[in-house]
Amino acid sequence: MTDTRDLFAAVPRSDFETPGKSRGLIDVVRWRYLLNLLVRTGVTTRYRNSVLGWTWSYVRPAAQFLVFWVVLGLFMNLDRGIPNYAVYLFSGIVVINLFSEGFKNATTSIVGNAPLVRKVFLPRQLFAVSAIIVAFVHFLPQVGLLLVVCLLLGWITHISIVSILAILAGMIIVMVFSLGLGLFFGAVNVRFRDAENIVELMLLLATWASPVLYGWVQVQDAVVKTLGWPQWIVEVYLLNPITQGVELFHYAFWRPATEGMVTAAGYAGEAMIDIPPGLAWNTLWTFLIAVATLLFGQFVFRRLEGRFAQDL
């Protein structure tokens, strides 16, 4: 009878893997079947036993838009100087919703899957990545609704390849940035549950810290003209990846849908369609910031994931 130890002795040690050793986000690609399963579970269970089902993906952002539009646009006149304010507002809201859902769900993904983390080895980054993909799936109906409205306003006659690229760039920047933050806070949240409260505060500020409800020109006027602060503060404000994602969607949806309405509405021509200067360069820089955030979040996640099972 052959001794099995002799058989294993003939196998090079390099062919064995250390049990429980993870290679980070690389393993997400290797375990894509499980990733697909997690995504399908997240998508199908969200509206389980719900009467309206997927209709909630349209109802929630529509209600959010109506509240902001009525209160801020009609009552508080924040729409001054912004033609076609409804499209401007909604194109920013969909970006904020993508970031908010992805970031929040990625933060709670490890704690929410504690039974699996404690009992089975698998790349823990799968949970955060699946949370971002599920948020993207729920984001698509909102973009579809925005697209229908823009088509009715003549968006198709002013669209360009650059506008399509702006949509893709905005989505990628926001998703990479939210994944990086989700990995960082998701890892910290296992040990310190205060992380969830910090994330809630960050999401509360995200809508107001980006030009969703107001124009970026109003920020520049307030910072430079009213307060007398230097221009570089505005530049730093524009380098926020969420701000850049919002402005890219404004460029891709609001600007083409508004160009045909500016003259007819009596606005002062193209000057009223204010797009931040250096939008292309800012896209590059904010993408690099998002990637740096992802690398830092991955670094912290891998440093802390060894104690996830004990802390949970």
Instruction: Examine the pLDDT at 5 and tell me if it is beyond 80.
Output: no
Is residue 21 classed as helix, strand or coil in its secondary structure?
Answer: coil
The whole-angstrom separation of Cα 72 and Cα 89 is 10
95-122 residue pLDDT tens:
999 999 999 999 998 888 888 888 777 7
State how far the alpha carbon of 210 is from the alpha carbons of 65, 180, 199, 219, in Å. Answer: 16, 19, 16, 10
pLDDT at 27 over 80: no
- What is the residue whose two structure tokens read 């993508």? 98
Q: Summarize the confidence of residues 227-245 as an average pLDDT.
A: 92
pLDDT tens per residue, range 251-305: 999 988 887 666 555 554 444 567 888 899 999 999 999 999 999 999 999 888 8
pLDDT (0 to 100) of residue 241: 96
Would you say residue 13 has pLDDT above 80?
A: no
What is the tens place of the pLDDT at every residue in 203-224?
988 888 899 888 888 889 898 8
* For residue 92, pLDDT beyond 70: yes
Residue 82's contacts (CB-CB under 8 Å, 6 or more residues apart) are 88, 215, 272
Paired tokens of 285? 């820089």
Spatial contact of 136 and 175, defined as CB atoms under 8 Å apart: yes
Continuous segment of H or E residues that includes residue 178: helix 161-191
